[in-house]
C-alpha cells in the first residue's frame, strides 16, 4: 500500500475532495485525521473510512482560527504519534463573490480567512510536526483559476487561490532541505456541490463544458488520486509544483465541433 504506516491530516474532509481523499488515503494504509467545521459531515467521512476497514478520527476545527489549527495538529500527534501528510484542502466559494465593484468586504475577508489564512495556519502548526516526523508532504488546494482567472467573476476566490500558489512555492523553497515537500494541487471544474450550486441549469453547465478539452467535469475522486501521488513517496523529487488536474482547460480554450 502506498501510504502504509503514514499519518495524514485532511481539512475539509466532510465532503467533496476531502472526503474522497480521506477514504482513498485510508485504503492505501494511512491513518487519517478528518478535520471539518461540520461535525456531522466529518463523522460521516470517518464512518465511511471505518466501513472500508480503514482507521480514522474526526477533529472539529475552523481553519481560520489559530487555536483550532494548533489543536488539530496536536490531536493528530496525540492519536497516532506522528504526522507525515498535511492536506490543507478546506476552502469556500461564496455565493456573493463577484467583481471588484460588487463583492463586499465581508465576503472578501471571509474568503481570505478560510482559503489563505487557513492554509497558512495549517502550515504554521503542521510544519513543526512534520519536522518531528523526519519530513513529509504538504498539499495545498489551489485551483486552475489561479492560472487563468475566472470568466464568471469570483474575484475573492480567484485571488485567494493565487495566494495559495505563491505561498506553496515559498514554503517549498524554504523547507526542501528538511525533507518537507510542498505542492499546490490545482483542480479544474469538478462535479462537486461547490461548483454545481452555481451551474444549476444544463445551459450553465454547457457554457463551462465548452472550454474543457475533455468535454466533461472532473470527479472529486480524480483529484484524490492526484493528492495520493503527491502524498506518497512516489513523488519524492516533486516539490514547489502547481499540479494541474483540469481536463486540459488551462492548455487551451476550445470551441465545440
Which residues belong to the active site?
157
Q: Are the beta carbons of 55 and 4 closer than 8 angstroms?
A: no
Q: Are the beta carbons of 184 and 142 closer than 8 angstroms?
A: yes
Q: Are the beta carbons of 45 and 71 closer than 8 angstroms?
A: no
The cell for 38 is 461540520
Q: Are the beta carbons of 227 and 21 closer than 8 angstroms?
A: yes
Q: Which helix (H) or strand (E) holds 73?
A: helix 66-80
**Cα–Cα distance, 163 to 160 (Å, whole number):** 5
**Cα–Cα distance, 123 to 117 (Å, whole number):** 10
Amino acid at each position: 500500500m502506498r501510504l502504509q504506516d503514514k499519518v495524514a491530516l485532511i481539512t475539509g474532509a466532510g465532503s467533496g475532495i476531502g472526503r474522497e481523499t480521506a477514504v482513498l488515503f485510508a485504503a492505501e494504509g494511512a491513518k487519517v485525521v478528518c478535520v471539518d467545521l461540520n461535525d456531522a459531515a466529518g463523522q460521516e467521512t470517518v464512518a465511511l473510512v471505518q466501513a472500508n476497514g480503514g482507521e480514522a478520527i474526526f477533529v472539529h476545527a475552523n481553519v481560520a482560527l489559530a487555536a483550532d489549527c494548533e489543536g488539530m495538529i496536536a490531536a493528530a500527534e496525540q492519536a497516532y504519534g506522528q504526522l507525515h501528510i498535511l492536506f490543507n484542502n478546506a476552502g469556500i466559494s461564496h455565493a456573493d463573490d463577484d467583481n471588484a465593484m460588487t463583492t463586499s468586504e465581508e465576503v472578501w475577508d471571509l474568503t481570505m480567512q478560510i482559503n489563505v489564512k487557513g492554509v497558512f495556519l495549517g502550515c504554521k502548526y503542521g510544519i513543526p510536526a512534520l519536522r518531528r516526523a523526519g519530513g513529509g508532504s504538504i498539499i495545498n488546494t489551489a485551483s486552475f483559476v489561479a492560472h487563468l482567472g475566472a470568466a464568471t467573476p469570483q474575484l475573492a476566490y480567484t485571488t485567494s487561490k493565487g495566494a495559495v500558489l505563491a505561498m506553496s512555492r515559498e514554503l517549498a523553497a524554504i523547507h526542501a532541505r528538511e525533507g518537507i515537500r510542498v505542492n499546490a494541487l490545482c483542480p479544474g471544474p469538478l462535479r462537486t456541490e461547490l461548483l454545481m450550486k452555481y451551474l444549476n441549469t444544463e445551459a450553465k453547465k454547457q457554457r463551462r463544458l465548452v472550454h474543457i478539452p475533455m468535454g466533461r467535469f472532473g470527479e472529486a475522486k480524480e483529484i484524490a488520486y492526484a493528492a495520493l501521488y503527491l502524498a506518497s513517496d512516489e513523488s519524492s523529487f516533486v516539490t514547489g509544483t502547481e499540479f494541474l488536474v483540469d481536463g486540459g482547460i488551462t492548455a487551451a480554450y476550445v470551441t465545440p465541433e
